[in-house]
C-alpha cells in the first residue's frame, strides 16, 4: 500500500502522481493504435497490392510484437521507473508512425508498424501505476474507471479511421497516430510524476523472485481468465473487418460505426466494475463478466445457425464481448498485480504478454478461417470457445480461493 505521506495529485505537476486523465491516455493511445486502421485494411491491401491475409498481419504480427514488448518492459520499469520508460517508448512510437505514412512498400510499412508496438507499454504501466498509487481492494475500481475512459478511444477510433479513409485515404489514420503520440509525450512530460520505487537490484536478482510468482495458482488463474476473455475480443479484431466488408458488404465508414460495438459494451462494463468491484469482490466480478460474454456468444451462434444473422445482429451481440470484458478485466488485472506487489510491473508485463500473445494467434486464425462463402460462423465459434475457457479459469480461481480459506 502507498505510504500515507504520498503527495496529493496535482494536474500538470510532474512532482506528484499522474492525474487519472493522463493514465487514461497512456492506455488509450495504444488502444487507438491497435484498431483505428482496421476499416482501412481492404484499402491498404489494394494500395500495397497484397492479399488481405498479408495486410491483416499488420494486426496479428503487431500483437505478437506487443507481447514481446510487454514481457521485456516489466523488469525495466521496476528497475528504472515508470516515467522515463514511458517517455522513451512514446518517442519511438511517434517516429514509427511517421514511417508508416512514408513507407514506399509493404515490407517497409510492416517494419514501421512493428516498431509502433513500443507504445503497448502503456497498457502495462497504466495498471502498474494504479497499483503503485492505491491498495489492492481499490485497484480494480480505479483500473475500471481508467479503462472506462480509455474505452472511448477505441470506440471512436474505427469510426474516425473509416471516415479518414474515405476522405483522405488510409495514410491519414497514421498521421493522426503520430500527432496523438506527440501529444501524449508532452502530457507525460508535464504530468506524470514517478510512482515506482526504483530498485537497485540487478535483473538477475529480480529473476530470482519470479519462481514465487510463477508457482502461484492464483496468479495464473487471473492471467488465464483475462487472456481467454480478451482472446474473444482479439478474434473479433482479426475477423470482423473481413466479415463486415466481404460478407456483409459494408463500406469503410459503415464498418467503422458497427465496429465500435464492443467498445461501447466495454465502457459500460468498466463503469459497473468501477462502481461495484470493492463491494462485490474481484472473483465474483470476474465470474459475472465471463458469464455475460459466454451467454452472448452462445445466443449469437444459435441465431446465426437459424439463419437470422445481419450486420446489426452480429455486431450488436459482439458488444457483449466488450461488456463482459469490461466487468472481468479490471478485477483480473488487479488480482494478478497483487500477488507480488514488488513485481507489479513485471506481473503486468507477463500477464500482458500472455494475453497479447494468444490474441495475436487468435487474430491470425480468425483472418485465416474466414472466406467470402464461409459466413461469420467460424469467427463466432472461435469467440465462443475462448469465452468458455475464460469462464473455466474464473471458476478455478474461486475454487482455489475457497480451498485456501478452508485450510
Whether 9 is in a domain gets the answer no
pLDDT of residue 68: 81
pLDDT of residue 195: 77
Number of neighbouring beta carbons within 10 Å of residue 279? 9
d(CA 351, CA 330): 13
pLDDT of residue 149: 61
Give 15's contacts (C-beta < 8 A, 6+ positions apart): 7, 193
Give the CA angle between residues 399, 405, 407 to the nearest 5°: 110
Whether 140 is in a domain gets the answer yes
Long-range contacts of the stretch 370-377 (C-beta < 8 A, 24+): 370/239, 370/242, 370/243, 370/246, 370/247, 372/246, 372/247, 374/247, 375/247, 375/304, 375/309, 376/239, 376/243, 376/247, 376/304, 376/309, 376/314, 377/301, 377/304, 377/305
pLDDT of residue 1: 41
Whether 133 is in a domain gets the answer yes
Whether 8 is in a domain gets the answer no
Q: What are residue 105's phi and psi, to 5 degrees?
A: -150, 180
Whether 11 is in a domain gets the answer no
Whether 88 is in a domain gets the answer yes
d(CA 266, CA 155): 9
State how far the alpha carbon of 49 is from the alpha carbons of 41, 234, 271, 392, in Å.
Answer: 12, 25, 43, 43
* Nearest residue to 58 (alpha-carbon basis) of 149, 173, 223, 180: 173
Tens digit of each residue's pLDDT, the chain (407 residues): 444 444 577 788 888 888 888 988 998 899 889 888 888 888 898 999 988 778 878 877 887 888 788 777 777 777 777 888 999 999 999 999 999 999 999 999 999 999 999 998 888 788 778 877 876 557 667 777 776 666 667 667 877 888 898 889 899 999 999 999 999 999 999 998 887 666 555 556 656 666 767 777 888 888 899 989 988 888 888 888 889 988 999 887 788 788 878 878 888 888 888 788 878 888 899 999 999 999 999 999 999 999 988 999 999 999 999 899 989 988 888 888 776 666 666 677 777 777 777 877 887 788 788 888 888 999 999 999 999 999 999 999 888 878 766 65
The total number of residues shown for the chain amounts to 407
User: Domain total for the chain?
Assistant: 1
Range of the domain at 336: 20-198+206-406
Mind giving me the DSSP string for 13-38?
Answer: -TTSPPPHHHHHHHHHHHHHHHHTTG
Whether 2 is in a domain gets the answer no
pLDDT of residue 77: 78
d(CA 42, CA 260): 18
Whether 241 is in a domain gets the answer yes
> In this structure, what CATH number is given to the domain that contains residue 378?
1.20.1250.20
pLDDT of residue 4: 42
Amino acid at each position: 500500500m502507498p505510504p500515507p505521506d504520498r503527495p496529493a495529485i496535482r494536474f500538470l505537476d510532474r512532482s506528484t502522481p499522474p492525474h487519472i486523465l493522463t493514465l487514461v491516455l497512456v492506455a488509450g493511445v495504444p488502444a487507438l493504435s491497435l484498431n483505428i486502421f482496421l476499416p482501412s485494411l481492404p484499402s491498404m491491401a489494394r494500395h500495397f497490392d497484397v492479399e488481405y491475409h498479408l495486410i491483416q498481419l499488420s494486426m496479428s504480427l503487431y500483437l505478437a510484437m506487443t507481447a514481446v514488448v510487454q514481457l521485456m518492459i516489466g523488469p525495466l520499469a521496476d528497475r528504472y521507473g515508470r516515467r522515463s520508460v514511458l517517455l522513451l517508448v512514446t518517442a519511438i512510437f511517434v517516429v514509427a508512425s511517421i514511417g508508416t505514412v512514408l513507407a514506399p512498400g509493404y515490407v517497409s510499412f510492416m517494419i514501421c508498424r512493428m516498431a509502433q508496438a513500443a507504445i503497448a507499454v502503456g497498457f502495462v504501466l497504466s495498471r502498474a501505476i494504479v497499483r503503485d498509487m492505491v491498495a489492492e481492494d481499490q485497484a480494480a475500481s480505479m483500473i475500471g474507471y481508467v479503462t472506462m475512459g480509455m474505452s472511448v478511444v477505441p470506440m471512436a477510433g474505427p469510426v474516425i479511421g473509416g471516415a479518414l479513409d474515405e476522405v483522405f485515404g488510409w495514410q491519414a489514420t497514421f498521421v493522426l497516430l503520430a500527432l496523438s503520440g506527440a501529444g501524449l509525450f508532452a502530457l507525460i512530460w508535464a504530468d506524470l510524476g514517478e510512482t515506482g520505487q526504483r530498485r537497485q537490484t540487478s535483473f538477475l536478482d529480480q529473476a530470482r523472485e519470479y519462481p514465487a510468482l510463477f508457482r502461484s495458482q492464483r496468479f495464473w488463474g487471473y492471467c488465464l481468465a483475462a487472456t481467454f476473455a480478451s482472446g474473444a475480443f482479439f478474434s473479433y479484431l482479426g475477423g470482423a473487418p473481413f466479415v463486415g466488408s466481404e460478407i456483409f458488404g459494408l463500406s469503410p465508414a459503415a464498418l467503422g460505426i458497427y465496429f465500435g460495438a464492443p467498445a461501447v459494451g466495454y465502457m459500460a462494463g468498466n463503469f459497473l466494475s468501477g462502481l461495484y468491484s470493492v463491494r462485490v469482490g474481484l472473483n465474483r466480478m470476474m465470474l459475472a463478466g465471463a458469464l455475460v460474454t459466454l451467454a452472448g456468444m452462445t445466443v449469437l451462434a444459435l441465431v446465426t445457425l437459424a439463419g437470422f444473422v445481419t450486420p446489426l445482429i452480429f455486431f450488436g451481440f459482439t458488444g457483449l464481448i466488450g461488456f463482459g470484458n469490461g466487468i472481468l478485466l479490471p478485477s483480473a488485472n488487479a488480482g494478478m498485480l497483487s500477488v507480488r506487489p514488488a513485481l507489479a510491473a513485471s506481473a503486468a508485463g507477463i500477464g500482458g504478454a500472455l494475453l497479447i500473445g494468444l490474441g495475436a494467434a487468435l487474430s491470425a486464425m480468425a483472418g485465416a478461417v474466414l472466406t467470402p462463402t464461409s459466413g461469420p460462423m467460424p469467427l463466432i465459434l472461435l469467440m465462443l470457445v475462448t469465452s468458455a475457457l475464460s469462464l473455466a479459469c474464473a471458476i478455478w480461481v474461486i475454487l482455489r480461493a475457497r480451498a485456501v480459506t478452508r485450510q
